[in-house]
């Protein structure tokens, strides 16, 4: 973060400009059970950091000091916090700090403190800046980085920029890897936030018809992506989330979308399609809950549609054989 962080930079105790500060060493037992073997750089930087925190000094040199302490231990929350306080106190450029910290993400993309630091800085700046681009760079290296996805959700909510671009971004990652559960999860978040206003003040204004329309569209989207990979758990989770697990106007959504969903799944079903059978179990169980007639949903057998319970038993019997890891679970559902 500064010249002080270079490998050949002298220790703080060797610098004339720090002669006025008395370092505070970490308290240690005389005979510790396990002694921590700190490097000289780590011990030196943190001894001086404790000293400036005790005195309350906030200056350019303290900004350099926190940079070295963070280099030694990027997870040091206290160093990050004091760095933010120093930036505010001396009026240092927030934009410059964001650019500087962005470089650290290439080395520590799953460091919570870095993401939190960026969140705090963006809040002070009151602008998203180029944050979505910064996040995209991180996700290019690891498209399932939880911290990056959580931060992206925060950014688009904080600055109210949940729009079509975010749907397109999620879909571009799904097209690259249809099994990217993180991208499917983000797509669901975008759809619910943008189209159904979930989590916003306008949520109560969304009509039943709109709920049914949006959920039906997303059920169709998940089924379309199952054609190339019927065993893709992510698409099945997305299907069940929109068709069965959502709570608003559940019966109306189910009545509209379930017949087509079951018909599509039955076309994909074969002896070894574990996730297709699993989704059918969930849908048939939901049909029983909603007190649907057996004729409301297609059946795999010929003749009169069987009761949903019989269909579930048949599917669970097959699942207990082809999904041995969860065999006892399927026996439980069957029973």
How many Å apart are CA 95 and CA 116, to the nearest integer?
A: 16
Measured CA distances, 36 to 42, 76, 333 (Å): 11, 16, 52
Whether the per-residue pLDDT at 259 is higher than 80: the answer is yes
Mean pLDDT, residues 8-31: 91
How many Å apart are CA 215 and CA 243, to the nearest integer?
A: 7
Catalytic residue among 96, 110, 141, 227: 110
Mean pLDDT, residues 94-116: 95
Read off the pLDDT band of 2 (50, 70, 90).
low
What is the model's pLDDT at position 1? 67
Dihedral sign for Cα atoms in the order 57, 59, 65, 67: positive
Read off the pLDDT band of 6 (50, 70, 90).
low
Helix axes 250-268, 274-289, angle to 10 degrees: 150
Where is pLDDT greater, at 19 or 335? 19
Convert the pLDDT of each residue in 182-236 to its tens digit: 999 999 999 999 999 999 999 999 999 999 999 999 999 999 999 999 999 999 9
What is the model's pLDDT at position 271? 79
What is the model's pLDDT at position 246? 86
Question: What is the chain's mean pLDDT, rounded?
Answer: 95
Sequence-distant (≥ 6) Cβ neighbours of residue 300 within 8 angstroms:
266, 269, 311, 314
Convert the pLDDT of each residue in 136-154 to its tens digit: 999 999 999 999 999 999 9
What is the model's pLDDT at position 7? 66
**Which tokens sit at 190?**
């975008």
Convert the pLDDT of each residue in 152-169 to its tens digit: 999 999 999 999 999 999
- Whether 239 and 279 have beta carbons less than 8 Å apart is answered as yes
Convert the pLDDT of each residue in 267-313 to its tens digit: 999 878 999 999 999 999 999 999 999 999 999 878 899 999 999 99
What is the model's pLDDT at position 44? 97
Mean pLDDT, residues 48-63: 98
pLDDT > 90 in the chain, percent: 90
What is the model's pLDDT at position 250? 95
pTM of structure:
0.92
Whether the per-residue pLDDT at 16 is higher than 90: the answer is yes
Whether the per-residue pLDDT at 3 is higher than 80: the answer is no
Whether the per-residue pLDDT at 9 is higher than 60: the answer is yes
Mean pLDDT, residues 83-92: 98
Catalytic: 110?
yes
SS (H, E, C) the chain: CCHHHCCCCCCHHHCHHHCCCCCCCCCCCCCCCCCCCCCHHHHHHHHHHHHHHHHCCCCHHHHHHHHHHHHHCCCCHHHHHHHHHHHHHHCCCHHHHHHHHHHHHCCCCCCHHHHHHHHHHHHHHCCCCCHHHHHHHHHHHCCCCHHHHHHHHHHHHHCCCCCHHHHHHHHHHHHHCCCCHHHHHHHHHHHHHHHCCCCCHHHHHCCHHHHHHHHHHHHHHHHHHHCCCCCCHHHHHHHHHHHHHCCCCHHHHHHHHHHHHHHHHHHHCCCCCHHHHHHHHHHHHHHHHCCCCHHHCCCCCCCCCCCHHHHHHHHHHHHHHHCHHHHHHHHHHHC
Whether the per-residue pLDDT at 4 is higher than 80: the answer is no
Whether the per-residue pLDDT at 177 is higher than 80: the answer is yes
**Which tokens sit at 86?**
């120093």
């Amino acid at each position: 973060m500064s010249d002080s962080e270079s490998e050949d930079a002298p220790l703080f105790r060797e610098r004339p400009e720090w002669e006025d500060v008395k370092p505070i060493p970490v308290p240690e037992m005389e005979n510790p059970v396990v002694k921590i073997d700190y490097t000289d750089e780590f011990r030196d930087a943190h001894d001086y950091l404790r000293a400036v925190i005790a005195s309350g000094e906030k200056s350019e040199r303290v900004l350099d000091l926190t940079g070295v302490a963070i280099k030694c231990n990027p997870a040091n929350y206290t160093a990050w916090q004091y760095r933010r306080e120093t930036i505010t106190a001396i009026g240092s450029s927030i934009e410059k700090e964001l650019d500087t910290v962005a470089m650290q993400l290439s080395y520590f993309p799953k460091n919570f403190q870095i993401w939190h630091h960026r969140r705090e800085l963006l809040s002070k700046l009151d602008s998203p800046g180029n944050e979505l681009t910064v996040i995209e760079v991180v996700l290019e290296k690891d498209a399932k980085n939880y911290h990056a996805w959580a931060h992206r959700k925060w950014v688009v909510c904080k600055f109210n920029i949940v729009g079509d671009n975010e749907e397109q971004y999620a879909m571009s990652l799904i097209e690259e890897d249809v099994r990217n559960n993180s991208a499917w999860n983000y797509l669901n978040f975008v759809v619910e936030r943008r189209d159904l206003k979930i989590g916003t003040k306008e949520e109560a204004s969304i009509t039943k018809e709109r709920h049914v329309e949006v959920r039906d569209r997303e059920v169709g989207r998940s089924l379309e992506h199952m054609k190339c990979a019927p065993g893709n758990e992510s698409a099945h989770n997305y299907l069940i989330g929109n068709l069965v697990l959502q709570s608003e106007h559940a019966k109306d959504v189910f009545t509209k979308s379930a017949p087509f969903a079951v018909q599509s799944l039955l076309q994909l079903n074969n002896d070894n399609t574990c996730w297709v059978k699993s989704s059918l179990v969930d849908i048939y169980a939901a049909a029983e809950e909603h007190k649907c007639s057996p004729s409301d949903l297609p059946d795999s057998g010929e003749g009169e549609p069987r009761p949903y319970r019989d269909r579930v038993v048949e599917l669970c019997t097959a699942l207990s054989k082809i999904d041995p890891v969860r065999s006892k679970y399927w026996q439980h559902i069957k029973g």
